[in-house]
Structure 1
């Protein structure tokens, strides 16, 4: 059922990858999807919350690989920086790990559990973990459901959610199948940019109504030019299916002015959210 979208100005911090100096902490990306980088010229993480507030953001989803270390004292500093800036840490995003891997799945589950511990220390109410990076079969979907439920059971003080993402959750049918098996023990973050094809918007609509968080991704119609039509349509789909969570912007385009493009996304969103 359509309703007004949450007006909170929110973002996924992947949007600021260049602003952060493309920083990727050692040991944070075992799959090799991201290359470790010391981010020497980028914005330090402890300064990020203040910059978010200065640009009008009240909510953020924080990527795990931005943490240069995970000592309790440092995590307390990060938590305090968000609190001091008045920016809500909506969700901690663990951007690697494959619980469905045929040889290392159990090891990856343990690795993810350690990052969920980090999310708890940061005071995040939610943590997003991948459902799996293997093609969907009866076996991989069942394995994902079992291991995600175990992660949630091992961390009852934080809400574990997953995302329509990577090789497992390739469409709405597979995503609904997994969610049915999870029985509400693990929630969903809907990313509007992860599925493509002529039925993209129908696929998103089929699962977005039950999602708890979002990542609304701006694609480009030309280098440096936001695809306004796609962004508007994605936002409209979320509104029309009754999505009730925040709209977290994701800028992943070619313009180095990430703050500027995020502001443009916010202006476009305003035409849909009212």
Structure 2
């Protein structure tokens, strides 16, 4: 976590703008089928930085599947667009891959390594990878830890993070197990909305002090109204643990007004972190 970062700076996770970006998923970016490839016709990725700046954003966590090209020339053009807009790319989110796959785990590791190469070419020094899509049994945990460390060895200049997300990370115990066993080699991005149920806040509190990045996801009802009480309590857990880094807001509810809902979320962020 950057101790000089401002948690009230305006930041978002680019998944929040999936509709704005035309539901675009680049060919070849989702080989395991996490999302259907295709889409398009919305805001282009090259135009995103200026639009983020127009809405007052300081930083973004960028999903890998939005990249229509991994060619060096395109990455340079996109990097210039973010630099010109004054919007930082906090990290590249690699939203596919399964390091714990019992058959193809090495292949998945190599695929993820290729995307970390892309992040490095793009000039982003932090990436989030999935710890695995298998339940956290002993073999799956061991495989995930081994391959995460191998990725860290291959990419010593890039901070690789995992998230409390997917089958490998159903609770605080599984997160702490992997972080303990990787002994500081791997960082932690906390998502405030991935865990559900009455025990959610205790689970978040058990890992919040280890977070160096955050996805501040809102929960909504069926019409898209933000659950403000839940959001305040989740943000409060993070604040009380001493987190002071960026809070990349996430909205993916049914109301299509993505920018408007994110502004509502930002008002709550500022209130909690004032």
Same fold (TM over 0.5): yes
Match of 1:58 in 2: 58
Give the 5 Å matches for 1:60-139.
60-139=60-139
Number of residue pairs the alignment of both structures matches: 270
Match of 2:204 in 1: 204
- CA offsets, 1:130-180, max 9 Å, x none? 000001111111111110011011011111111111101110011101100
Alignment gaps of 5+ in structure 2: none
Distance 1:157 1:224 in 2: 40
Deviation of residue 210 (structure 1)? 1.2
Root-mean-square deviation over aligned CA pairs: 1.1
Question: 2:210 is paired with a residue of what secondary structure?
Answer: coil
Match of 2:188 in 1: 188
Question: 2:188 is paired with a residue of what secondary structure?
Answer: strand
Distance 1:258 1:170 in 2: 28
Superposition TM-score, scaled by structure 1 size? 0.96
Distance 2:86 2:150 in 1: 33
Match of 2:255 in 1: 255
Is the deviation greater in 244-253 or in 10-19? 244-253
Superposition TM-score, scaled by structure 2 size? 0.96
Distance 1:228 1:198 in 2: 16
Deviation of residue 222 (structure 1)? 3.7
Match of 1:237 in 2: 237
Give the 5 Å matches for 1:41-56.
41-56=41-56
- CA offsets, 1:68-106, max 9 Å, x none? 010111011111111110001001000000011111111
Alignment gaps of 5+ in structure 1: none
**Contact 1:12-1:249 within 8 A present in 2 as well:** yes
Runs of 4+ residues deviating >3 angstroms: none
**Contact 2:100-2:144 within 8 A present in 1 as well:** yes
Is the deviation greater in 172-181 or in 30-39? 30-39
Deviation of residue 5 (structure 1)? 6.6
Match of 2:141 in 1: 141
